[in-house]
Amino acid sequence: MNTPSSLTLRRPDDWHVHLRDGAMLAAVIAATARDFSRAIVMPNLKPPVTTAALAAAYRERIRALVPSDCDFTPLMTCYLTDTVDPADLRAGHADGVFTAAKLYPAGATTNSEAGVTELARIARVLETMEAIGMPLLVHGEVVDGAVDVFDREAVFIERVLAPLRGRHPALKIVLEHVTTREGVAFVREAAGPVGATITPHHLLINRNAMFAGGIRPHMYCLPVAKREIHRLALREAACSGDPRFFLGTDSAPHLRSLKEHDCGCAGVFNAPSALACYAQVFAEERALDRLEAFASLNGPAFYGLPPNERRVTLECCEDFATPDLPVDGEAVRVFRPAGALRWRVT
Ligand code: DOR
Ligand code: ZN
């Protein structure tokens, strides 16, 4: 089959995005709202979104900044801490404020200091979530400094995720931004409701990209990109049509000055280029006929939501430009692959 030069699909959703707050939110929201109908909004603000009241207020700040010609629904998440209140979580879910809750192992990534120190501390919360069908979204890395940074996801699966699956067999779990073949295998083989999001950057780069000719801070995110065998496993999973794998950009903007820094922040900002990047990957894998499942059907099915009725069209181009996004007199670098980006949203 020749690669088509354009492609129309149901509008996708982004099942994992960092929209931030204040000036950064104002700068980045249009990129997500333009290309996605819904998005699961990460709660790792400062301070984190730990209650239904905080989530409802944050949702209003997002809605107020969505461009008027965009039809976009933010889906909110609760940042789990050792002391999160199961009653508030349950009420927030019943009221439609919380769609899911996010587990950050304390210290695993950006603004995760208030995260969970030990799963045993939130056993009642997890029981509640299992009972009400509320998905648990997992940052799947151990924080044990003795574990090599490239092994932290695989070790997390063995030490934390597999036992958790056993203790809560009906809990809906999403292994967010899966980066390893071990992660892919776990999701494929796990009993019960388990899914995974896959980012555009983990499909396009391996760990060499962080060191290409020098240190490349804009290629640094967490979980960090892994070896080529892992990237290939992610591509295979995304393009397989397996309903457990779905689109989640993990778009995570940081100012250039904070990326190009003595201690640069983790995060790749890809919202403006994400759909183009996914299309490029699926075209390279000769799997464009499966892009709609990955981008627009598998996620809603996992979350128990209807797929979007509106459509989006992508078309081939010479090279989709990805200029820096201005923010507050500074700029945020937009992710793009090493060569040309040969797709764009029309
Ligand atoms: O690279 C990352 N950036 N990984 C995360 O888990 C958090 C995110 C952020 O908030 O910047
Ligand atoms: Zn994230």
Q: DSSP label at 12? A: P
Closest CA to 41 of 4, 15, 69: 15
Q: How far is the CA of 252 from the centre of ligand 1 (A)?
A: 6
- Name residue 197's beta-bridge partners: 246
Secondary structure (3-state) at 101: strand
End-to-end alpha-carbon separation of the chain, Å?
23
Q: How far is the CA of 47 from the centre of ligand 1 (A)?
A: 15
Going by CA atoms, what residue is nearest to atom 4 of ligand 1? 222
Tens of pLDDT along 76-124? 999 999 999 999 999 999 999 999 999 999 998 889 999 999 999 999 9
Going by CA atoms, what residue is nearest to atom 7 of ligand 1? 110
Nearest ligand, CA 44: 1
Nearest ligand, CA 110: 1
Instruction: Write the single-letter amino acid at 220.
Output: Y
Secondary-structure class of domain 6-345 per CATH = alpha beta
Q: Is the CB of 139 under 6 A from ligand 1?
A: yes
Strands 173-175 and 38-41: unpaired
Mean pLDDT in order along the chain per 10 residues (346 residues): 86 98 98 98 97 98 98 98 97 98 92 94 97 98 96 98 96 98 98 97 98 98 98 98 98 98 98 98 97 98 98 97 96 96 97
CA distance 7 to 346: 10
Q: Specify the pLDDT at position 110.
A: 84
Residue 21 falls in the annotated catalytic set: no
Q: Specify the pLDDT at position 1.
A: 54
Half-sphere exposure of 287 (CA within 13 A, CB side): 19
Q: How far is the CA of 198 from the centre of ligand 2 (A)?
A: 11
Q: Specify the pLDDT at position 3.
A: 78
Q: Is the CB of 258 under 6 A from ligand 1?
A: no
Q: Is the CB of 293 under 6 A from ligand 1?
A: no
DSSP E strand boundaries for the chain = 6-10, 14-17, 38-41, 73-79, 98-103, 136-138, 173-175, 194-198, 245-247, 311-316, 325-327, 330-332, 343-345
User: Whole-prediction pTM value?
Assistant: 0.98
CA distance 17 to 257: 21
Q: Is the CB of 202 under 6 A from ligand 1?
A: no
Q: How far is the CA of 230 from the centre of ligand 1 (A)?
A: 20
